[in-house]
Structure 1
Amino acid sequence: MSNLSGVTVRPDCRHFRGDLPCRPNKESGYVCQNCPVYAPVQKRVLLIKLGAIGDVIRTTPLLRRLRQEYPGCYITWLTLTPAILPQAEVDEILKFDFASAMQLMARQFDIAINLDKEKEACALLLKVDAKHRFGYTLREYDGVAWPHNEQAHHKFLTGIFDQLSLQNQKPYVQEIFELCGFEFRGEEYVFDNHENKGYRWDTLPQGKPRIGLNTGCGDRWTTRLWSDEKWVTLITQLQQAGYAPVLLGGTAEAERNQRLHAATGAAYPGTFPLEQFINLMHQMDGIVTQVTMAMHISIALAKPTILMNNIFNPHEFDLYGRGQLVQPDRPCVCFYRGTCKLGTSCMEELPAEKVFAAVQTSVPLLA
């Protein structure tokens, strides 16, 4: 507690801003002296996870453990995609830029965690003032990413040797928990489904289980793509069985989804901004997707997720007991490769019948 010109100020309160009136003052007229919502910060935690969006989403289970281990902590998250983070669960969300990095290096934290090997993220963990640091830092003499603490060794090594990555049997979430010195206990994602935004979905099919079909996978790992022929076969099987397939995707998938809609009559609502797309996925009863942003959103929304995987280690993904992971009948020989060494991606060896069976098991029809 401080006294400035006879006025009581409590800068240790989680609501305190310093540059602007705090929310309790703005909304209720409270002042620091005798404030009924005064909440002293017990520990200050910095979490550095810049991107991509899916990786940011699947880092959110850490928020649950941090709140449990450090009651009253104040969490600052530095990221390239602030809009994806749960606003109510992170005290301070900063977009990574020069201004944010500059002010973080002038502050003190009890705990600093960096989960990215990008050099700028590693440099920040190296320079920030923190009592305890976890994750990846920068070796000053040669500028390479390096594990700061012993618990980070496992995750670091699986990222630099394909052989170790292939042998790994730990899901990503378990790895980052262990990197921070925690035992993973099945903590779920922390995520906003944006149901309170009042989005209307009157054009969606009614009366049947909706199965969202995310037909794209981005442009980096195109070996994940499934052909139109396979999607048409799956859509037809779903329709005949009594499901309502709904085509999902962004602008990159729009042309394909329009073709599939024309060929099968499957619902295609169109493309939407991220928050609205998340809420659209929330309307589904199950999601079929490759390893891409939609997969992370589906898991975060606690949807039964039918995950089509070929080039990644299947142990990396934790579906939390909902859904199934399905893989091609032919073993993949292109681990973490964007082009197929054999010319034709093994994803074409994943039968539509196999995906359909996984949907039936994960999202059973009502008798």
Structure 2
Amino acid sequence: MLIGDVARHSGVSTRMLRHYDAIGLVQPTGRTVGGYREYSADDVRRVFHVESLRSLGLSLKQIGRALEDPAFTPSALVGDLIQWTEDRLAREQELLERLRVIDASAPTGWQDVLHVVALMRELASTSPARRQQAVLTRPEGVPVPAELLVGAILAESDPHVAGALRWALARAGGEGLAALAAVAHSENVDIRRRAVLAIAEMPAGPEAIAVLADALGDPDPMVRGHAALALGGQGVAAAWPTLVGMVVEGRNDVDAAEALGTLSKTPECGARIATALADELAAPTADSETRIRLTQALVELEGATAQEILRNLVHDPDGAVALVASALVGVLDGRTDDGQEQELP
């Protein structure tokens, strides 16, 4: 079979076939009377073998060794190819994400593109101070793509940098909410925590409240806590059981008590919260420290039910609880009718 026929059957160009011949990879076994290359059936099969190995990413040198050395084992080489391919895909995926971020920023000129690229570079710095500075000192009037902020928030472990990123995202309005909501059910608990905390600090809206309400059922207490504090501050009654649990467990109990105070402005909800706190106070497993936290939470609540429970605690058998209750009753008695504390002389 002449070189032109081999090219048509194999899809390999005559130029590449001549190159294979020159480097000794596939050399035709014969020549015609006129000196033209003549390929046997085995030669053609070798061409197909070469192309098959090329499709796996092997170099021509590696292919020659694989075909000529009977002792050559593919396992190590294939393993290296897998690692190389994974690295290349990761680099290309990173490039794709960068391009998407730039596209989402809707640049009007190359200067806008350069600003975004510079910010991406700074956010990838190994220095937390540089990452934080990149967010806080960005030029006025230069928008930061929400997708870039969301990606940085989900990857950021430094609490100060994370706080700056959440602040910047909150300033962007509701942008980025969809991306955060999409990972609010991630198997990675750290990502869920960062996502829900970022949503909690964004402007409240129906979509954000719906995501946070769903997070109240998360198995992680920190995720539930972030959601409950935000919802409680927005007056969403569904948060109160989680907030009561936070007071009992001593997790952000001061903030939880303040959120319960906000919810207690609705009389029905206030009565239910006060009753729940009273039940926890009476629980046989409640130790003195837990009962003190519950007592302190009662003073934050509005309504007669909470005040009555608090006044009864003045006579509690636990002296520490009774002492705290007495002090808090004094605070209650010092309040004016509009709920503000009077100035003491």
**For this structure pair, what is the TM-score category when the shorter chain's length is used for normalisation?**
under 0.3
TM-score by length of 2: 0.23
* Structure with more of its chain in strand, by fraction: 1
The one of the two structures with greater contact order (alpha-carbon pairs below 8 A, sep at least 6) is 1
TM-score by length of 1: 0.22
Higher helix share: 2
